[in-house]
Amino acid sequence: MSELLHARDLTKAFRSNTALNGLNLSVNEKEIVCLLGANGAGKTTTINLFLGFLEPTSGAAIVDGTEVTADLKRARSKLGYVPEQVSLYPALTGLENLDYFVRLGGGHRDESHLRGLLDRVGLDQGAADQKVGAYSKGMRQKIGLAIALAKGARALLLDEPLSGLDPSAANEFCRLLRQLADNGAAVLMATHDLFRARELADRIGIMKSGTLVEELSPESLDQAALEQVYLNHMHDDETVDETAEEA
Amino acid sequence: MMIGAIIGKELTEIRRDGRALGLLGIVGLLLVLGLTTGLATENAREREVLQAQADDSAVFLEQGEKNPHSAAHFSRMAHKPVAPLASFDPGVSSYMGQVIWLEAHSRNPAMFRAAEDAPELSRLENFSIAGVLTLILPLLVVLMGYGSIAGERERGTLRQLVGSGASPIHLLLGKFIVIAGVAFAVLAAAVAISTSFSLLSLSESGFSGGDLVLRGLSLLFVYGLYIVCLTAVTLLVSMLVAEARTALLLLLGIWVVTVVGLPRLSASIAEQVYPSPDSATFWEDTRASLQANRPPSESEDYVAVEREVIERALGRELRVDELDDLEINRGALRLEVSEVIDQEAFNAAYAELFANYEKQKNLRRMLSVLSPTIALQHLSRAYSGTDIGAHEHFSLEAERQRNDIVRAMNEDMMLNGAGESFGYLSPPEFWETVPEFDYRPPSVAAAWSESARDLTILLFWGLAAIAAMFWFGANRTRV
Amino acid sequence: MSGLIREIRFLASDRAALLWLGIALLVACVSVILGLREIAAQRAVLNDLIEIDYAEREVLDTLYQDWGDVAYYTFHLTWDSPSDFAFAALGQRDTSPWKHQIRALALEGQIYETDAENPDFALIGRFDFAFAANLLAPLLLILLLHDLRSAERTAGRYELLSATAASQGSPWFARAALRTGALALCLIAPLWAGGLPGGAGASTLIPASLVVILHIAFWWGVCVLVDRYGWTSPVNLTALVGAWLALAVIVPAAIKVSIEAAVPLPDGGEILLTQREAVNDAWDLPKAATMEPFIERHPAWADYTEVSQPFEWKWYYAFQQVGDQTVEPLSQAYRDGRIRRDRLAGSLAWLSPPALAERAMQALADTNVAATLTYEQRVRAFHKALREYYYPRLFRGEPVSTVSIEQRPQFQGKES
């Protein structure tokens, strides 16, 4: 069982505020780990550190044995990333967007392969040739996932991918993730949807004020335990939102 | 590969975005307007010049029996031919006299500036292709590029692209190629069309087709450099500023200051630091130095010039004692001697005038560190053959011509009018032996060396802008 | 009042707006300073020249015994002093002559002489207040006003603000009015600060300020119009800069080209060539050929047309005058054409507010085409007076005397 994502004493401080404090976490292949926490708990910071958008204050983010700060390019080549808002070029079609992102990631896939991918993530064949300006959020998330798949990413980082999706779209998306994990991917997903996390994850990390306060297995979470987690950890922190610090 | 994908995507976006196409259409329209007005004005002017030259020639040749000195007062007009690419950049041609009167005793300034009878509206309306390109190319580039990085950042696509392994440098390079490429295509079309029109209307004006093509290519090169500067600065701002609208605001502010404001400001400053002499003072000073320069008529210097003038007229050396016994028209000798003596002072006065223009130009060059538009204006006029340098060349050649024809007339009277004083009349066929003014404008090579410093400045601007863009791109790209 | 204070606070915290206002203030100050210096330099040159002019004439007046020589060698400076407001709009003073040294010889050869000013700068135009206020200021106003509504829209406050405000336009109106007013102040304050000590009175500064305010107000109107469409800031900005290009550059260019096509002028070279031919031919023609047309216009000297010597001064000055007479129709057509062009430009300038404002300021500053033509007329009148002074002395062969010389007309600079 290889360890694809590994955070070792990962710490990120913005001036006075420590957004992430000594995180130790690993995600293995075929495993889905959900990070749960309120806004400002450090989930997005963790993902940004893995992607190299931020540099750690101390500690290391390691992707499939490569430390991100040491070889950003190599680390990124193994990562797939689906943000909360999958941003696409509205003037291009779904297929063109996919093709563009794949090429810019340094890869190349022929059209039939790309169409196969869109099929695999459940996008209608008709939609692939429409400009994405008219896409629903669920369709955009699918393109986002297809982009990650196309580059053959072994580790997927997802930042609140489910927020704003209607229940059936969210269901379908989760099913897809499970499939990918079963095929060997390591998935790290930030969310604040307790119920989805319990359904989907192999492990759940609870974060609060930049610290991983608890690691749970979904089986251990019955209704009462869920309620407890919610009351203890899921209300908004008083800390500054790290995205605000970035900007 | 990656660059190709970026270029393809950017072009697709431009193609599918109606605004960008509309903008290109407007720029195209302006260029056509600039070209037609340029061609109309320059063609009319060229016809006028040719007509005036023919008239002048006819009047001179048909003056019949006449005293040559009287004819030298009437003399000829030297008409400045319309510059090869004046339809592209009319430069200073409207603001410089077009005709020099090659009168005996005086090196005259050029007369008749078209600008004096032009209706005054604001001076910005001096519409030409060069004007459109310098003023509007920046807008085209800014509008295509202000959102290229900032907009992707706002939409979140930048984050995704970088997250999926795209290199910011490649992204910059791809966008750079597309924006600069589109602007360059507009430029190339403008230069190609106006160069070919000039080639078609290439007449007796003394310009060669090869020279014209080289001028066109030189213009393409310097305006291309300008585009490089503009694109790099635009992308740089788009990269460093958080939002696209801020980038646009800032870029337009930079445009107002550096393209609209600074060229004028630099001219006003240069004029105040090195004021041009006003004509009254210029002539006052010139008259004074002419006086000071004239040796007394029995002095050694004077006699030396006398001897030189006679020897040149006779085409042989004089014996030591021959001077006093020669059968020549002494009045004509005095005239020619005074011409030769005065030339030096005239040339010194004009050289100083042109040197002052050059000082003013140098000051503007220094200020072009703040705005590449200033260096571009110098280069554009130089390569179009419409700058002060080209005018100075014409002025010098016209003076050479004046010296030649006045000498021819003086020598005729001197050698053939002995004893007749000012009653001597040249025969009607004499006028045909007075050389015609056959003006050969300088080739583009002269413009190259004359404006080498402007080119260096513009090159420096281009390199610095590109270096800054890539350095910030590599080190400071925010996602 | 509290609303105004709040808006001032908003403005004070908007760094971009302060930047544009700062640039406006700087540009206005620099333009006023440069203009004042330019006018001071022109005055200094004039003072020197006038002094030299008098001094030289004093020397010359004792040198010659013959009126012909006196008239031939004596130059008279004529000039058009800059008005006290000329610093703000230098206008035609860089392309058209404002001083000539005139002799009693044929005038047409003298009146088109121009200064040796750097033509590069004439092409570029001067950085004067008129440029700052008429061409730069609208751009700065556009940068200031383009996103009043769209910025709030982008920030998501638009609906809230509109709903809260008592009347639909009021918060925007106050905000825009403040910015427009601040910009106008940044322009007008330096104008007054430079103009008052420079001698320009309120009678020119007030109308000039009015021109600035009206012109700026026009552009405010354009901004309001564009803002109505509810586009995003970048689209607003693009549209407004496009409007500036159209009104400040393209329309004037089109006007200029069409006027030049509609009102052709005689070629300046033609005037000179014809006059030169007439003067030159006279040397070889019988004397009567000169004296006849001269007497036609100057019948008073009909009894003095006898020329017995091969060279007589009266004949010389007569053929100079006949040279001028020959080109009179051309010269008049040239002048009429310029007047017609200027009139047309004046009417068509209504299509381009920046051009209109420019012309208004040049008119206030007495630096427009009309002023140039007036000066030209004054030179012609002076030349005429000079000739009429010399004719009796030349034709009657009077001896040169100091008393007589003291009666010679002097060019009078206009009252400024």
pLDDT in tens, B97-108: 788 888 888 888
Mutate to test the interface with B, among C33, C38, C48, C118 (most CBs of B within 10 A): C118
Question: Stretch B294-310: mean pLDDT, rounded?
Answer: 87
CA distance C1 to chain B (A): 31
- If residue B44 lies in a helix (H) or strand (E), which one and from where to where? helix B18-61
Crossing angle between the packed helical segments A137-150 and A167-182, to the nearest 10 degrees? 10
SS3 C67: helix
Is C246's Cβ below 8 Å from some Cβ in B?
no
- Beta-bridge partners for A65: none
Contact residues for C10 (Cβ-Cβ < 8 A; gap 6+): C175
Percent of all residues in chain B with a pLDDT value above 70, rounded to a whole number? 95
Q: Record the tokens describing residue C157, joined without a space.
A: 């406050």
Nearest to A157, CA basis, from A75, A58, A73: A75
CA distance C151 to chain B (A): 9
Query: Which chains touch C (3+ CB pairs under 8 A)?
Result: B
In chain A, what residues touch B20 (CB-CB under 8 Å)? none
CA distance A187 to chain B (A): 16
Q: What is the pLDDT of residue A246?
A: 39
From the list B135, B249, B280, the residue facing C237 with the nearest CB is B249
Q: Per-block average pLDDT, block size 10, for chain A (247 residues)?
A: 87 86 90 88 90 89 90 85 86 88 79 87 85 86 86 87 82 87 91 84 89 84 76 60 40
In chain B, what residues touch A147 (CB-CB under 8 Å)? 160, 164
How many Å apart are CA B243 and CA B151, to the nearest integer? Answer: 7
Q: What is the pLDDT of residue B402?
A: 93
Question: Stretch B225-242: mean pLDDT, rounded?
Answer: 94
Q: What is the pLDDT of residue C88?
A: 93
Is C362's Cβ below 8 Å from some Cβ in B?
yes
Q: Which residues of B touch A (CB under 8 A)?
A: 1-2, 4-6, 8-9, 12-13, 16-17, 155-157, 159-167, 170-171, 242, 479
How many Å apart are CA A122 and CA A143, to the nearest integer? Answer: 9
Is C264's Cβ below 8 Å from some Cβ in B?
no
Mean pLDDT over each residue of chain C, to the nearest integer: 86
Interchain proximity B164–A51, CB inside 8 Å:
no
Across B40-75, b (16+ Cβ under 10 Å) vs e yields ebbeebbebbbebbebbeebbeebeebbbbbbbbbb
Q: Record the tokens describing residue B94, joined without a space.
A: 């409207």
CA atoms within 13 A on the CB side of C55: 7
In chain B, what residues touch A61 (CB-CB under 8 Å)? none
Dihedral angle of Cα C223, C229, C233, C236, to the nearest 10 degrees? -50
CA distance B278 to chain C (A): 5
- Beta-bridge partners for A32: A187
Question: Stretch B208-213: mean pLDDT, rounded?
Answer: 87
Q: Record the tokens describing residue C323, joined without a space.
A: 């040279």
Q: What is the pLDDT of residue B124?
A: 61
Cβ contacts from B onto C, under 8 A: 271
Interchain proximity A96–B166, CB inside 8 Å:
no
Cβ atoms A85, A161 nearer than 8 A? no
Does C166 have pLDDT greater than 70? no
Mutate to test the interface with B, among C121, C279, C375 (most CBs of B within 10 A): C121
In chain B, what residues touch A53 (CB-CB under 8 Å)? 159, 162-163, 479
Across A175-184, b (16+ Cβ under 10 Å) vs e yields ebbeebbeee
Contact residues for A40 (Cβ-Cβ < 8 A; gap 6+): A19, A209, A236, A237, A239, A240, A241, A242
CA distance C345 to chain B (A): 6
What sections of B368-451 are H helices per DSSP?
372-384, 388-416, 444-450
List, as ranges, residues 168-227 from C with C-beta within 8 Å of B: none
Question: Hunting for tokens 């062009």 — which residue is that?
Answer: C341
Mean pLDDT over each residue of chain B, to the nearest integer: 86
Cβ atoms A87, A100 nearer than 8 A? no
Contact residues for B330 (Cβ-Cβ < 8 A; gap 6+): none
Interchain proximity B113–C95, CB inside 8 Å:
yes
Crossing angle between the packed helical segments C137-145 and C15-61, to the nearest 10 degrees? 170
Comparison of pLDDT for C88 and B77, the residue scoring more: C88
Q: How confident is the model at residue C344 (pLDDT cuts 50, 70, 90)?
A: very high
The alpha-carbon radius of gyration of chain B (Å, integer) is 29
Q: What is the pLDDT of residue C212?
A: 96
- Checking DSSP bridges between strand C76-79 and strand C99-102, what pairing results, if any? antiparallel
How many Å apart are CA B151 and CA B144, to the nearest integer? Answer: 11
Phi, psi of B119 (to 5 degrees): -65, 140
ipTM: 0.83
Q: What is the pLDDT of residue B404?
A: 92
pTM, whole model, 2 decimals?
Answer: 0.85
Condensed to tens digits (0 to 9), the pLDDT of residues C263-290 reads: 888 777 778 778 878 887 787 788 888 8
Cβ contacts from A onto B, under 8 A: 77
Residue type at B15 in one-letter notation: R
Strand locations in C235-306, DSSP E? none
CA distance C303 to chain B (A): 29
Q: How confident is the model at residue B221 (pLDDT cuts 50, 70, 90)?
A: very high
Is C253's Cβ below 8 Å from some Cβ in B?
yes
Phi, psi of A86 (to 5 degrees): -75, 115
Query: Which chains touch A (3+ CB pairs under 8 A)?
Result: B
How many Å apart are CA B313 and CA B399, to the nearest integer? Answer: 19
Residue of B nearest to A50 (CA): B163
Q: What is the pLDDT of residue C211?
A: 96
Question: Stretch B441-465: mean pLDDT, rounded?
Answer: 93
End-to-end CA distance of chain A: 39
Most confident of B42-51, C159-168, C322-331: C322-331
The alpha-carbon radius of gyration of chain C (Å, integer) is 29
Domain positions in chain B are 2-292+328-475
The neighbour count for residue C59, using CB atoms within 10 Å, is: 8
Q: Which residues of A touch B (CB under 8 A)?
A: 51, 53, 73, 76-77, 79-81, 83, 85-89, 91-92, 96, 99-101, 103-106, 108, 131, 144, 147-148, 151, 247
CA distance B476 to chain A (A): 11
- Beta-bridge partners for A60: A8
Mutate to test the interface with B, among C31, C123, C255 (most CBs of B within 10 A): C123
Nearest to A99, CA basis, from B173, B1, B171, B181: B1
User: How far is CA C241 from each of CA B125, B136, C181, C247, C305, rounded to the nearest angstrom?
Assistant: 16, 11, 20, 10, 69
- Checking DSSP bridges between strand A31-37 and strand A186-191, what pairing results, if any? parallel
In chain C, what residues touch B275 (CB-CB under 8 Å)? 41
Question: Stretch C380-391: mean pLDDT, rounded?
Answer: 93
Q: How many residues does chain C have?
A: 416
From the list B33, B264, B279, the residue facing C125 with the nearest CB is B264
Query: Which chains touch B (3+ CB pairs under 8 A)?
Result: A, C
Q: Do chains B and A touch (3 or more CB pairs under 8 A)?
A: yes
Is C400's Cβ below 8 Å from some Cβ in B?
no
The alpha-carbon radius of gyration of chain A (Å, integer) is 18
